[in-house]
Structure 1
Amino acid sequence: MDTKSLMVDIATKLFQQKGYKGVGLNELLKACNITKGALYHHFPNGKEELLIACLQSLNEAITTDIESIFQQHPSTQEATHAMIEKLITNLETDGTITGYTFSSIVSEMASLSEPVRNACGALYEKIQDIYRNKLLTDGFSIESASSVSLFMTASIEGAMMLCLTQKSTDPLRTISKILPNLLKEF
Protein backbone atom coordinates (compact mmCIF):
# COMPACT_ATOMS: atom_id res chain seq x y z
CA MET A 1 0.00 0.00 0.00
CA ASP A 2 1.41 3.41 -0.92
CA THR A 3 1.92 6.15 1.69
CA LYS A 4 -1.13 8.19 0.71
CA SER A 5 -3.47 5.17 0.83
CA LEU A 6 -1.99 4.09 4.15
CA MET A 7 -2.56 7.57 5.57
CA VAL A 8 -6.20 7.53 4.42
CA ASP A 9 -6.76 4.06 5.87
CA ILE A 10 -5.26 4.86 9.28
CA ALA A 11 -6.81 8.33 9.49
CA THR A 12 -10.26 6.95 8.60
CA LYS A 13 -10.12 4.57 11.54
CA LEU A 14 -8.90 7.28 13.89
CA PHE A 15 -11.53 9.80 12.77
CA GLN A 16 -14.30 7.23 13.19
CA GLN A 17 -13.09 6.25 16.65
CA LYS A 18 -12.32 9.70 18.04
CA GLY A 19 -13.93 12.23 15.72
CA TYR A 20 -12.14 14.84 13.67
CA LYS A 21 -11.38 17.17 16.55
CA GLY A 22 -10.37 14.30 18.83
CA VAL A 23 -7.49 13.33 16.56
CA GLY A 24 -4.52 15.66 16.86
CA LEU A 25 -2.05 16.27 14.07
CA ASN A 26 0.80 14.70 16.06
CA GLU A 27 -1.31 11.60 16.72
CA LEU A 28 -2.01 11.28 12.99
CA LEU A 29 1.67 11.66 12.12
CA LYS A 30 2.70 9.08 14.72
CA ALA A 31 -0.01 6.56 13.77
CA CYS A 32 0.87 6.88 10.07
CA ASN A 33 4.60 6.93 10.82
CA ILE A 34 5.09 9.99 8.63
CA THR A 35 6.49 13.49 8.92
CA LYS A 36 4.50 16.69 8.78
CA GLY A 37 6.12 17.32 5.39
CA ALA A 38 4.80 14.00 4.07
CA LEU A 39 1.28 14.87 5.24
CA TYR A 40 1.36 18.24 3.47
CA HIS A 41 2.97 16.68 0.40
CA HIS A 42 -0.02 14.37 -0.07
CA PHE A 43 -2.63 16.72 1.42
CA PRO A 44 -1.54 20.35 0.87
CA ASN A 45 -4.55 21.67 2.79
CA GLY A 46 -3.71 19.47 5.77
CA LYS A 47 -5.93 17.51 8.10
CA GLU A 48 -9.26 18.67 6.61
CA GLU A 49 -8.20 17.58 3.12
CA LEU A 50 -7.16 14.22 4.60
CA LEU A 51 -10.61 13.93 6.23
CA ILE A 52 -12.29 14.55 2.87
CA ALA A 53 -10.12 11.84 1.29
CA CYS A 54 -11.18 9.52 4.13
CA LEU A 55 -14.86 10.30 3.50
CA GLN A 56 -14.41 9.63 -0.22
CA SER A 57 -12.74 6.31 0.59
CA LEU A 58 -15.60 5.44 2.94
CA ASN A 59 -18.07 6.37 0.21
CA GLU A 60 -16.51 3.84 -2.14
CA ALA A 61 -16.17 1.06 0.43
CA ILE A 62 -19.61 1.45 2.00
CA THR A 63 -21.53 1.83 -1.24
CA THR A 64 -19.70 -1.10 -2.85
CA ASP A 65 -20.65 -3.28 0.12
CA ILE A 66 -24.28 -2.11 0.18
CA GLU A 67 -24.62 -2.49 -3.60
CA SER A 68 -23.29 -6.03 -3.37
CA ILE A 69 -25.80 -6.96 -0.67
CA PHE A 70 -28.68 -5.34 -2.55
CA GLN A 71 -27.75 -7.15 -5.79
CA GLN A 72 -27.69 -10.52 -4.04
CA HIS A 73 -31.28 -10.27 -2.81
CA PRO A 74 -34.43 -10.13 -4.93
CA SER A 75 -36.33 -7.58 -2.83
CA THR A 76 -35.60 -4.48 -0.80
CA GLN A 77 -37.02 -6.19 2.30
CA GLU A 78 -34.62 -9.14 2.02
CA ALA A 79 -31.64 -6.95 1.14
CA THR A 80 -32.35 -4.58 4.02
CA HIS A 81 -32.65 -7.45 6.47
CA ALA A 82 -29.38 -9.00 5.20
CA MET A 83 -27.52 -5.68 5.43
CA ILE A 84 -28.71 -5.00 8.97
CA GLU A 85 -27.82 -8.54 10.03
CA LYS A 86 -24.31 -7.95 8.67
CA LEU A 87 -24.06 -4.75 10.74
CA ILE A 88 -25.19 -6.67 13.83
CA THR A 89 -22.59 -9.38 13.19
CA ASN A 90 -19.86 -6.73 12.73
CA LEU A 91 -20.85 -5.05 15.99
CA GLU A 92 -20.90 -8.35 17.89
CA THR A 93 -17.59 -9.48 16.38
CA ASP A 94 -15.63 -6.23 16.40
CA GLY A 95 -17.39 -4.29 19.14
CA THR A 96 -17.97 -1.44 16.69
CA ILE A 97 -19.37 -0.70 13.26
CA THR A 98 -16.25 1.05 11.99
CA GLY A 99 -16.55 1.63 8.29
CA TYR A 100 -20.28 2.19 8.22
CA THR A 101 -21.15 5.09 10.44
CA PHE A 102 -19.74 8.56 10.12
CA SER A 103 -22.47 10.57 11.84
CA SER A 104 -20.05 11.83 14.47
CA ILE A 105 -17.96 13.45 11.75
CA VAL A 106 -21.06 15.00 10.18
CA SER A 107 -22.33 16.44 13.46
CA GLU A 108 -18.89 17.71 14.38
CA MET A 109 -17.85 19.26 11.05
CA ALA A 110 -20.91 19.99 8.88
CA SER A 111 -21.39 23.51 10.20
CA LEU A 112 -17.66 24.27 10.15
CA SER A 113 -16.62 23.06 6.72
CA GLU A 114 -18.60 23.17 3.50
CA PRO A 115 -16.25 20.71 1.71
CA VAL A 116 -16.64 18.17 4.55
CA ARG A 117 -20.42 18.69 4.62
CA ASN A 118 -20.53 18.10 0.85
CA ALA A 119 -18.42 14.92 1.14
CA CYS A 120 -20.72 13.57 3.87
CA GLY A 121 -23.79 14.57 1.89
CA ALA A 122 -22.48 12.73 -1.18
CA LEU A 123 -22.12 9.54 0.83
CA TYR A 124 -25.63 9.73 2.25
CA GLU A 125 -26.97 10.52 -1.23
CA LYS A 126 -25.23 7.48 -2.72
CA ILE A 127 -26.65 5.21 -0.01
CA GLN A 128 -30.14 6.61 -0.62
CA ASP A 129 -29.68 6.08 -4.37
CA ILE A 130 -28.94 2.38 -3.80
CA TYR A 131 -32.07 2.00 -1.68
CA ARG A 132 -34.18 4.08 -4.08
CA ASN A 133 -33.09 2.06 -7.13
CA LYS A 134 -33.96 -1.21 -5.40
CA LEU A 135 -37.34 0.20 -4.35
CA LEU A 136 -38.02 1.29 -7.93
CA THR A 137 -37.21 -2.25 -9.08
CA ASP A 138 -39.72 -3.47 -6.49
CA GLY A 139 -42.40 -1.32 -8.15
CA PHE A 140 -42.43 1.75 -5.91
CA SER A 141 -43.22 5.09 -7.53
CA ILE A 142 -40.35 7.58 -7.79
CA GLU A 143 -41.90 9.73 -5.08
CA SER A 144 -42.44 6.81 -2.68
CA ALA A 145 -39.01 5.33 -3.41
CA SER A 146 -37.37 8.68 -2.65
CA SER A 147 -39.26 9.12 0.62
CA VAL A 148 -38.73 5.53 1.77
CA SER A 149 -35.01 5.60 0.90
CA LEU A 150 -34.60 8.69 3.07
CA PHE A 151 -36.51 6.98 5.89
CA MET A 152 -34.34 3.85 5.54
CA THR A 153 -31.11 5.87 5.62
CA ALA A 154 -32.18 7.83 8.70
CA SER A 155 -33.46 4.72 10.51
CA ILE A 156 -30.39 2.58 9.87
CA GLU A 157 -27.89 5.38 10.58
CA GLY A 158 -29.76 6.31 13.75
CA ALA A 159 -29.87 2.69 14.90
CA MET A 160 -26.12 2.37 14.36
CA MET A 161 -25.46 5.44 16.48
CA LEU A 162 -27.77 4.12 19.22
CA CYS A 163 -25.96 0.77 19.16
CA LEU A 164 -22.63 2.50 19.65
CA THR A 165 -23.88 4.71 22.48
CA GLN A 166 -25.75 1.87 24.22
CA LYS A 167 -23.05 -0.72 23.51
CA SER A 168 -25.84 -3.02 22.42
CA THR A 169 -27.14 -4.50 19.17
CA ASP A 170 -30.74 -4.00 20.31
CA PRO A 171 -31.46 -0.89 18.19
CA LEU A 172 -30.31 -2.64 14.99
CA ARG A 173 -32.21 -5.78 15.96
CA THR A 174 -35.36 -3.69 16.37
CA ILE A 175 -34.83 -2.00 13.00
CA SER A 176 -34.15 -5.40 11.44
CA LYS A 177 -37.57 -6.61 12.59
CA ILE A 178 -39.58 -3.48 11.85
CA LEU A 179 -38.07 -1.89 8.72
CA PRO A 180 -38.57 -4.78 6.28
CA ASN A 181 -42.18 -5.14 7.46
CA LEU A 182 -42.80 -1.42 7.04
CA LEU A 183 -41.57 -1.68 3.46
CA LYS A 184 -44.35 -4.16 2.71
CA GLU A 185 -46.94 -1.56 3.74
CA PHE A 186 -45.89 1.06 1.20
Structure 2
Amino acid sequence: MSNKPNTREAILDTASKLFFSQGYHATGLNQIIKDSDSPKGSLYYYFPHGKEELALTCINRTSEVVAQKLRHHMENSKSASEAMEDFILGMAKDAVESSYEGIVPFSFWLAAETSCISEELRTACKSVFMDLQDVIKKRLLDEGVENKPAADKASVVISLFEGALLQTLTFREEQPLLAAAKFIPVILG
Protein backbone atom coordinates (compact mmCIF):
# COMPACT_ATOMS: atom_id res chain seq x y z
CA MET A 1 0.00 0.00 0.00
CA SER A 2 1.32 3.40 -0.95
CA ASN A 3 1.30 6.01 1.78
CA LYS A 4 2.80 8.77 -0.32
CA PRO A 5 1.60 12.15 0.99
CA ASN A 6 -0.25 12.88 -2.24
CA THR A 7 -2.05 9.53 -2.60
CA ARG A 8 -5.04 10.69 -0.55
CA GLU A 9 -5.22 13.90 -2.58
CA ALA A 10 -4.95 11.98 -5.86
CA ILE A 11 -7.85 9.78 -4.79
CA LEU A 12 -9.92 12.82 -3.77
CA ASP A 13 -9.11 14.75 -6.95
CA THR A 14 -10.01 11.78 -9.14
CA ALA A 15 -13.16 10.91 -7.20
CA SER A 16 -14.36 14.53 -7.27
CA LYS A 17 -13.93 14.76 -11.03
CA LEU A 18 -15.63 11.44 -11.64
CA PHE A 19 -18.53 11.99 -9.22
CA PHE A 20 -19.26 15.37 -10.72
CA SER A 21 -18.72 14.44 -14.36
CA GLN A 22 -20.44 11.08 -14.53
CA GLY A 23 -22.41 10.87 -11.29
CA TYR A 24 -22.19 9.04 -8.00
CA HIS A 25 -23.84 5.82 -9.15
CA ALA A 26 -21.87 5.57 -12.40
CA THR A 27 -18.56 5.96 -10.61
CA GLY A 28 -17.04 2.81 -9.23
CA LEU A 29 -14.26 2.47 -6.72
CA ASN A 30 -12.19 0.44 -9.19
CA GLN A 31 -12.35 3.33 -11.67
CA ILE A 32 -11.25 5.79 -8.98
CA ILE A 33 -8.35 3.52 -8.03
CA LYS A 34 -7.30 3.04 -11.65
CA ASP A 35 -7.64 6.69 -12.69
CA SER A 36 -5.81 7.97 -9.61
CA ASP A 37 -2.98 5.42 -10.03
CA SER A 38 -3.48 4.38 -6.42
CA PRO A 39 -3.35 0.92 -4.90
CA LYS A 40 -6.72 -0.42 -3.75
CA GLY A 41 -5.44 -0.61 -0.18
CA SER A 42 -4.82 3.13 -0.16
CA LEU A 43 -8.44 3.93 -0.92
CA TYR A 44 -9.64 1.79 1.98
CA TYR A 45 -6.84 3.04 4.21
CA TYR A 46 -7.93 6.66 3.76
CA PHE A 47 -11.67 5.96 3.38
CA PRO A 48 -12.43 2.81 5.38
CA HIS A 49 -16.19 3.25 4.97
CA GLY A 50 -15.90 3.21 1.19
CA LYS A 51 -17.67 5.17 -1.50
CA GLU A 52 -20.09 7.15 0.66
CA GLU A 53 -17.30 8.36 2.96
CA LEU A 54 -15.24 9.30 -0.09
CA ALA A 55 -18.17 11.21 -1.60
CA LEU A 56 -18.78 13.05 1.69
CA THR A 57 -15.14 14.06 1.82
CA CYS A 58 -15.28 15.29 -1.79
CA ILE A 59 -18.43 17.32 -1.07
CA ASN A 60 -16.94 18.91 2.05
CA ARG A 61 -13.63 19.62 0.36
CA THR A 62 -15.26 21.27 -2.67
CA SER A 63 -17.61 23.21 -0.43
CA GLU A 64 -14.80 24.68 1.63
CA VAL A 65 -12.80 25.76 -1.42
CA VAL A 66 -15.80 27.48 -2.98
CA ALA A 67 -17.00 29.01 0.29
CA GLN A 68 -13.50 30.43 0.91
CA LYS A 69 -13.50 31.97 -2.55
CA LEU A 70 -16.95 33.46 -2.00
CA ARG A 71 -16.02 34.80 1.47
CA HIS A 72 -12.93 36.43 -0.04
CA HIS A 73 -15.10 38.25 -2.57
CA MET A 74 -17.63 39.28 0.09
CA GLU A 75 -14.90 40.63 2.37
CA ASN A 76 -13.05 42.54 -0.35
CA SER A 77 -15.84 44.14 -2.37
CA LYS A 78 -17.87 47.29 -1.91
CA SER A 79 -21.17 45.42 -1.77
CA ALA A 80 -22.69 41.96 -1.81
CA SER A 81 -23.85 42.63 -5.35
CA GLU A 82 -20.36 43.52 -6.58
CA ALA A 83 -18.87 40.55 -4.73
CA MET A 84 -21.31 38.08 -6.25
CA GLU A 85 -20.89 39.51 -9.75
CA ASP A 86 -17.10 39.20 -9.44
CA PHE A 87 -17.40 35.68 -8.04
CA ILE A 88 -19.62 34.53 -10.92
CA LEU A 89 -17.46 36.23 -13.54
CA GLY A 90 -14.42 34.51 -12.02
CA MET A 91 -16.17 31.16 -12.29
CA ALA A 92 -17.01 31.91 -15.93
CA LYS A 93 -13.35 32.68 -16.60
CA ASP A 94 -12.26 29.49 -14.81
CA ALA A 95 -14.79 27.48 -16.85
CA VAL A 96 -13.41 28.79 -20.14
CA GLU A 97 -9.78 28.31 -19.06
CA SER A 98 -10.46 24.71 -18.03
CA SER A 99 -12.34 23.95 -21.26
CA TYR A 100 -15.45 23.47 -19.09
CA GLU A 101 -13.96 20.46 -17.34
CA GLY A 102 -12.39 21.87 -14.18
CA ILE A 103 -15.52 23.49 -12.82
CA VAL A 104 -18.32 21.56 -11.15
CA PRO A 105 -21.71 22.37 -9.68
CA PHE A 106 -20.98 22.04 -5.98
CA SER A 107 -23.45 19.34 -5.18
CA PHE A 108 -26.13 19.32 -7.85
CA TRP A 109 -25.50 15.83 -9.17
CA LEU A 110 -24.94 14.27 -5.78
CA ALA A 111 -27.96 16.04 -4.30
CA ALA A 112 -30.26 15.00 -7.14
CA GLU A 113 -28.86 11.50 -7.37
CA THR A 114 -28.53 10.51 -3.74
CA SER A 115 -31.17 12.45 -1.80
CA CYS A 116 -33.53 9.47 -1.77
CA ILE A 117 -30.95 6.82 -0.92
CA SER A 118 -28.48 8.45 1.46
CA GLU A 119 -29.55 10.81 4.19
CA GLU A 120 -25.91 11.51 4.99
CA LEU A 121 -25.10 12.63 1.43
CA ARG A 122 -28.34 14.63 1.18
CA THR A 123 -27.49 16.40 4.43
CA ALA A 124 -23.96 17.15 3.23
CA CYS A 125 -25.30 18.63 -0.03
CA LYS A 126 -27.82 20.70 1.92
CA SER A 127 -24.96 22.02 4.06
CA VAL A 128 -23.09 23.14 0.94
CA PHE A 129 -26.03 25.20 -0.23
CA MET A 130 -26.67 26.58 3.25
CA ASP A 131 -23.00 27.52 3.78
CA LEU A 132 -22.90 29.47 0.52
CA GLN A 133 -26.23 31.15 1.25
CA ASP A 134 -25.01 32.08 4.74
CA VAL A 135 -21.95 33.86 3.32
CA ILE A 136 -24.21 36.03 1.14
CA LYS A 137 -26.84 36.50 3.84
CA LYS A 138 -24.22 37.67 6.37
CA ARG A 139 -22.99 40.35 3.99
CA LEU A 140 -26.55 41.47 3.22
CA LEU A 141 -27.31 41.70 6.95
CA ASP A 142 -24.16 43.82 7.35
CA GLU A 143 -25.54 46.08 4.61
CA GLY A 144 -28.78 46.55 6.54
CA VAL A 145 -31.06 44.08 4.77
CA GLU A 146 -33.54 42.45 7.16
CA ASN A 147 -33.13 38.76 8.03
CA LYS A 148 -35.94 37.19 5.94
CA PRO A 149 -35.28 39.20 2.74
CA ALA A 150 -31.53 38.57 3.15
CA ALA A 151 -32.12 34.81 3.43
CA ASP A 152 -34.50 34.82 0.44
CA LYS A 153 -32.11 36.82 -1.73
CA ALA A 154 -29.19 34.54 -0.81
CA SER A 155 -31.26 31.48 -1.73
CA VAL A 156 -32.27 32.95 -5.09
CA VAL A 157 -28.70 33.99 -5.90
CA ILE A 158 -27.31 30.51 -5.17
CA SER A 159 -30.11 28.95 -7.23
CA LEU A 160 -29.36 31.32 -10.12
CA PHE A 161 -25.64 30.64 -9.86
CA GLU A 162 -26.00 26.84 -9.68
CA GLY A 163 -28.42 26.84 -12.63
CA ALA A 164 -26.17 29.09 -14.70
CA LEU A 165 -23.15 26.94 -13.85
CA LEU A 166 -24.99 23.80 -14.90
CA GLN A 167 -26.02 25.41 -18.19
CA THR A 168 -22.48 26.68 -18.77
CA LEU A 169 -21.13 23.15 -18.40
CA THR A 170 -23.90 21.63 -20.53
CA PHE A 171 -23.64 24.19 -23.34
CA ARG A 172 -19.86 24.51 -22.96
CA GLU A 173 -20.10 28.26 -23.15
CA GLU A 174 -19.76 31.01 -20.58
CA GLN A 175 -22.89 32.95 -21.59
CA PRO A 176 -25.22 31.54 -18.89
CA LEU A 177 -22.80 32.64 -16.15
CA LEU A 178 -22.30 36.04 -17.79
CA ALA A 179 -26.08 36.51 -17.97
CA ALA A 180 -26.46 35.48 -14.32
CA ALA A 181 -23.80 37.99 -13.25
CA LYS A 182 -25.63 40.73 -15.13
CA PHE A 183 -28.81 40.16 -13.10
CA ILE A 184 -27.20 39.98 -9.67
CA PRO A 185 -27.73 43.73 -9.05
CA VAL A 186 -31.43 43.28 -9.79
CA ILE A 187 -31.69 40.65 -7.05
CA LEU A 188 -29.29 42.09 -4.51
CA GLY A 189 -29.73 45.78 -5.25
* Common topology (TM > 0.5): yes
| Cα distance, 1:99 vs structure 2 | 4.7
Could you list the runs of 5+ residues in structure 2 that have no partner in the other structure?
none
Work out the number of aligned pairs and report it: 184
In structure 1, distance between residues paired with 2:75 and 2:99: 27
2:54 aligned partner: 50
In the alignment, is the contact (CA less than 8 A) between 1:6 and 1:32 conserved in 2?
A: yes
Corresponding letter in the other structure for 1:72: N
In structure 2, distance between residues paired with 1:11 and 1:82: 29
In structure 1, distance between residues paired with 2:127 and 2:188: 24
Query: Superposed, which structure 2 residues align to 1:107-126 within 5 Å?
Result: 107-126=112-131
In the alignment, is the contact (CA less than 8 A) between 2:105 and 2:166 conserved in 1?
A: no
Identity across matched positions, percent: 28
Query: Aligned pair in 2 of structure 1 residues 69, 100: CA closer, same or farther (>3 Å)?
Result: farther
> Does 2:112 align with 1:138?
no
In structure 2, distance between residues paired with 1:69 and 1:46: 35
> Does 2:75 align with 1:71?
yes
> Does 2:152 align with 1:150?
no
TM-score between both structures, scaled by the size of structure 2: 0.90
In the alignment, is the contact (CA less than 8 A) between 1:92 and 1:169 conserved in 2?
A: yes
> Does 2:76 align with 1:82?
no
1:178 aligned partner: 183
| Per-residue deviation, residues 120-178 of structure 1 (Å, max 9, x unmatched) | 11111110000000111111001110111111111111111111122222211111111
| Per-residue deviation, residues 49-98 of structure 1 (Å, max 9, x unmatched) | 10111111112111111111111102011101101110111121112252
Could you list the runs of 5+ residues in structure 1 that have no partner in the other structure?
none
User: What secondary structure, in the 3-state scheme, does the structure 2 residue paired with 1:45 have?
Assistant: coil
In structure 1, distance between residues paired with 2:6 and 2:175: 39
User: What secondary structure, in the 3-state scheme, does the structure 2 residue paired with 1:98 have?
Assistant: coil
| Cα distance, 1:33 vs structure 2 | 2.0
In structure 2, distance between residues paired with 1:18 and 1:159: 19
Backbone CA RMSD of aligned residues: 1.5
Residue range with higher mean Cα deviation, 71-80 or 32-41: 32-41
2:33 aligned partner: 29
After the TM superposition, which segments of 4 or more aligned residues of structure 1 sit over 3 Å from their partners? none
Corresponding letter in the other structure for 1:126: D
TM-score between both structures, scaled by the size of structure 1: 0.92
In structure 2, distance between residues paired with 1:177 and 1:82: 10
